Amino acid sequence: MKFVLWLADIDRRILFLLIAVAVVVPILAPIGMPVTVTPQSKSIYDEVEALPPGSNVIVSFDYDPATEPEVHPMALSFLRHCFEKQHKVIIMALWPQGAQMAVRALAEVGGDFDLEYGRDYVNLGYKPGGDIVIKSMGSSIWEVFPRDMAGRSTASLPLMAKVQSLNDVALVMDLSAGDPGIPAWVRVGNALYHRKIAGGSTAVSAPQFFPYLQTGQLIGLLGGLKGAAEYETLIKYPGAATRRMDSQSVAHLVIIIFIIFANVSYFISRRHKEGAGAGRAAGPPGTP
């Protein structure tokens, strides 16, 4: 009984330790569970496959180092896929640190392809303003980004010579960890300029974008680490996300076990207290 009562009110540092073990061990000793692909991830893959080679694709880096583990693997896989299909990639960022994340991504992926800056891809850097940046890009990308991240004139870059506005772009992939992000691209890029928008977001934000998926305002959505792992599976290039999925699986299982223990100990201790005539309150009001 003492053990049950102790379990009901366990020191949370023990929980933290168990979570740490659950995350670290599968990284050191991978299990290799296969990743199943969801339709919302497959639709992005199919769209990139269906685009004629040389299509213009915008990749908007709207995340920061905090959300790197979830969103960065998506960026790597998507860039890899675009470069394999010889699409022309236009990189930009609506978050200040997004531009640096793009530099990192290009450094990790670019070496595997024979790419020439200005011909195969450009990095336009960060621009503050969220919705208004996208709206202005609908008229002229050159005016919004007169220079690329390194200070070169945008109009002088061979790739950008044929990309005057959003209307010249076949697909936008927004890798987003908050605001501005996917809602801004859907509100402006899709609603006003009818561009195809694909999204990649953290797992915690993904549920709120499901309405956009249903209406077709988003053509697809990569949600969290699982979404990143799915895209790696689709392009047949398992990377960081696939490796980390084992940890996520075990961590989820450990949390489920915690919850089961918590409920068992809760019911036993409640029955014990009721039996002892203490009549415990059912918890603070307002909590389910």
Partner 1 sequence: MRREIPMIVAFVAGVIIILEFFVPALRDVAAGIQNWYLVVVAFAILVGAFNLLRMNYMKIRHRRADWPYSIILIIGLFGMGLTGLIGGIDADTTFDWLFNYFMFPMSSTMFALLAFFVASAAYRAFRARTVDATLLLAAAFIVMLGQVPLGSFWVPSWWPFFLSPAWLKDRIMEIGNTAGQRAILIGASLGVVSTSLRILLGIERSYLGEE
Partner 2 sequence: MRSAFLGVVSILALVAAATGQTLRAAEGLNASDTPIDAGGSIDVTWQPSPSEAAGKTPVLGYEVWRAERVTGEYKKVGSVDPGKPSYAFTDNAAENGVTYFYKIRVRNEKMSTDTAPLGPAKASAQWFHPERLNMLIASIALSAFVLYYISQARAGREFFIRRIAGLEAVQEAVGRATEMGKPVLFVPGIADVDDIQTIASLTILGRVATMVAEYDADLLVPCSRSLVMSTAQEVVKEAYLEAGRPDAYQRENIRYLTDDQFGFVAGVDGIMIRDKPAANFYLGTFYAESLILAETGHSIGAIQIAGTAMPSQLPFFIAACDYTLIGEELFAASAYLSREPRLLGSLLGQDWGKVIILVFIILGVFTAFLDQFGVEIFGRSINLAQLFDVR
Question: By the criterion CB under 8 A, which residues form the site for partner 2?
Answer: 12, 66-67, 178, 191, 202, 204-205, 207-208, 284-288
Q: Report residue 222 as tokens.
A: 């990569």
Site for partner 1, residues 38 to 97, rule: CB under 8 A:
38, 64-69, 97
Question: Between 182 and 221, how does the x/- string for binding to partner 1 read (CB under 8 A)?
Answer: ---------------------x---xx-xx--x-------
Those residues whose C-beta lies under 8 Å from the C-beta of residue 48, and which sit 6 or more positions away, are: 57, 78, 81, 82, 85, 87, 171
Q: Report residue 167 as tokens.
A: 């209307």
From partner 2, partner 1, none, interface partner of 210 (C-beta below 5 to 8 A by class): partner 1
Instruction: Please count the residues of this chain forming the interface with partner 1, following the rule CB under 8 A.
Output: 67
Size of the chain, expressed as the number of residues it contains: 288
92 touches 145 (CB < 8 A)? yes
SS3 (DSSP) at 131: helix
253 contributes a contact to partner 1 by CB under 8 A: yes
256 contributes a contact to partner 1 by CB under 8 A: yes
Q: How far apart are the first and last CA of the chain?
A: 26
The minimum distance between CB 103 and partner 1, in angstroms, equals: 5
Question: Cα 207–64–131 angle (5° rounding)?
Answer: 65
* DSSP-assigned states of every residue in 228-265: HHHHHHHTT---HHHHHHHHHHHHHHHHHHHHHHHHHH
Looking at beta carbons only, is 2 or 12 nearer to partner 2? 12
Buried b or exposed e, range 106-129, using 16+ CB within 10 angstroms: bebbbeeeeeeeeebbbbbbbbee
CA distances from 168 to 77, 111, 121, 149 (A): 24, 27, 15, 21
Closest CA to 89 of 109, 73, 64: 109
Looking at beta carbons only, is 217 or 247 nearer to partner 2? 217
Looking at beta carbons only, is 277 or 285 nearer to partner 2? 285
Looking at beta carbons only, is 158 or 207 nearer to partner 2? 207
From partner 2, partner 1, none, interface partner of 144 (C-beta below 5 to 8 A by class): partner 1
The minimum distance between CB 82 and partner 1, in angstroms, equals: 19
4, 10, 51, 115: residue in contact with partner 1 (rule CB under 8 A): 10
Give me the residues that bind partner 1 (CB under 8 A), please.
Answer: 10, 12, 15-16, 18-20, 23, 33-36, 38, 64-69, 97, 99-100, 103-104, 106-107, 127-129, 132-133, 135-136, 139, 143-144, 149-150, 203, 207-208, 210-211, 214, 224, 226, 245-246, 248-256, 258-259, 262-263, 266-267, 282-283, 287-288
